[in-house]
Structure 1
């Protein structure tokens, strides 16, 4: 690979502002680059379902070797604040002046993909079909991946089932293959309003009711593979009013859907106990935000890529992770994803950095994998 070129390309891309729901300019840039590299491009307009402005990019570089190809995937949106990035190169590290995020998540992944395609074209590397999938709005609950109109995609443009998602935080060599499902939980507690100074005994404070229920709930790490958290408690009343309503938003995630639903059921019991003791009402609603990610081939693909890293002298290990990504959504459409890293650290913060050594290692690993399967 051309190391100087990949760094220049990365810095060029992070200067294109592409926050979630506003990736249009960056998407146009990427479509132009993929066309220049000889890829056929198809654009899915699922963004219209969630008030975005940028399509999901499907790209295909036709191979001359028969057989199932591979898909290289990443996402185009970045976490704010991300406008006017001032990139600072400090040895192997690229960082910002700490007024913005860097955008390595996930433009480092896309820089790796573009360099792989460039090298393959320049060196005339024989290969099977290579597919590219670049989704918008991953950072807002994988909205791009969730809204792909799969039934409209031309059959020849549908990606290969084995998918390298270049979006893992941390060093090169880490291969995530399993991730949890996440359920969002909404609780509404109803009390009775009254004047807090004149007749508080005639009221029932919904905030206190919610607090009693929450105190009985298991939170944090429930077991090795299950977690739960409350993100917000909202009730907007003057201090002289007994609060009539309190809204609680929480999540439960885990590698067993049955376990997750069991935890939600226990939360219902905690609410019922509070109501039985103090009165009032409650409602609980939950919805699956994304399903589990599990390997579909008994880890064959993950172990193949682990061996590629090892052949390059890079320490490699398989990992079970606690976060979700596009991979979870794509798994429900039959794709077999592994999530690999390119040296992104402190992501989603203004202290984000990119270690270019890891970026180079993973780019070389992807190239080696494609050559090996030729």
Structure 2
């Protein structure tokens, strides 16, 4: 592999503005590179459903040997503020001037993928089919992966079931294999409006109903693998009006769907008790934002990749993580994902940095894995 070329490519990419819903310029840039490398490309137009600007890029480098192949995945959007990124090199560390995010999440992953492809092609390394899935809008609720029209993907472009997602924060050697599902909930409390100073007795305060219900809900860590959090409480009324509407939103995430649903049932009972005791009404909405990610092969794939790292002298750690990613969405389609680190630190902040030594290690590991399968 050409380390300097990969780092130079990364720096070039982070200068291209590609926020969620605005990845077109960067997507066009990547499509051109992949075409020059000789990959076959299919562009999914799911972005039209949610008002985006860039497709999910499916690409394939046909192999010379038979087998299931391997899929490499990353996302093309970055967290704001990211316009006019000024990358600064400090030894092995790349960071910004502190006014923007760096975009290592996930352009470091894409830099790794491009260098893997270039190295495989230039060194004439025999390999099985290599597939790519590069998604837009991952940072905005995984909208890109959620809206892929899988029925339209050409059969020969359907990616291999084992997926290396190059999108884990932290060092090389970190291999995430399990992640929780997340359910969002929305509770609408309805009371009765009245003048707060003249006849408050005629009113039922929806904010008070919400407060009573929330006070009896267990929040934070529910158990070892389940968490809950409130995101907003909205009720905009002047102080001289008994508020008749209050909207509460939150989330529960966990590795057991049964536990998530049981907790949501308990929350709904809290709402019922509050409204039955003081009057008023409520409605309770819940929706699965993304499913769980679990290994489909008893960690065989994760351990196989860990062995590659260890052969390179990289300490490994298999991880159960608390966040969601495209891997969760792919899991519903039967994909078996691992999420590997490339040296990203302090992601989603203007203090974000990338340790290029870790980027190099993971890129070397992917190349070695492809040689062995």
TM-score if structure 2 supplies the norm length? 0.99
Alpha-carbon distance in structure 1 between the residues aligned to 2:337 and 2:264: 28
Partner of 2:305: 305
Alpha-carbon distance in structure 2 between the residues aligned to 1:4 and 1:364: 14
Alpha-carbon distance in structure 2 between the residues aligned to 1:79 and 1:214: 31
Matches within 5 A, 1:1-374: 1-373=1-373
- Give the superposition deviation at 1:175: 0.5
Alpha-carbon distance in structure 2 between the residues aligned to 1:215 and 1:348: 32
- Give the superposition deviation at 1:335: 0.6
Displaced runs of 4 or more, over 2 A: none
- Give the superposition deviation at 1:229: 0.4
Instruction: Please give the per-residue CA displacement for 1:320-372, whole angstroms capped at 9, x wherever unaligned.
Output: 11111000000101111001011111111111111111101100100110111
Instruction: Please give the per-residue CA displacement for 1:193-240, whole angstroms capped at 9, x wherever unaligned.
Output: 111222222211111110111010011111110000001111111121
- Give the superposition deviation at 1:246: 0.4
- Give the superposition deviation at 1:158: 0.6
Alpha-carbon distance in structure 2 between the residues aligned to 1:39 and 1:132: 10
Residue correspondences, number? 373
Instruction: Please give the per-residue CA displacement for 1:2-40, whole angstroms capped at 9, x wherever unaligned.
Output: 111111101100111111111111000000000111101
Alpha-carbon distance in structure 2 between the residues aligned to 1:291 and 1:312: 34
- Give the superposition deviation at 1:164: 0.2
Alpha-carbon distance in structure 1 between the residues aligned to 2:276 and 2:155: 57
Alpha-carbon distance in structure 2 between the residues aligned to 1:30 and 1:219: 43
Let me know the Cα RMSD of the aligned residues.
Answer: 0.7
Q: Where does the alignment leave 5 or more consecutive residues of structure 1 unmatched?
A: none
- Give the superposition deviation at 1:117: 0.4
Alpha-carbon distance in structure 2 between the residues aligned to 1:168 and 1:201: 55
Instruction: Please give the per-residue CA displacement for 1:110-162, whole angstroms capped at 9, x wherever unaligned.
Output: 00000000111111111111001100000111110011011111111110010
Q: Where does the alignment leave 5 or more consecutive residues of structure 2 unmatched?
A: none
Alpha-carbon distance in structure 1 between the residues aligned to 2:176 and 2:64: 30
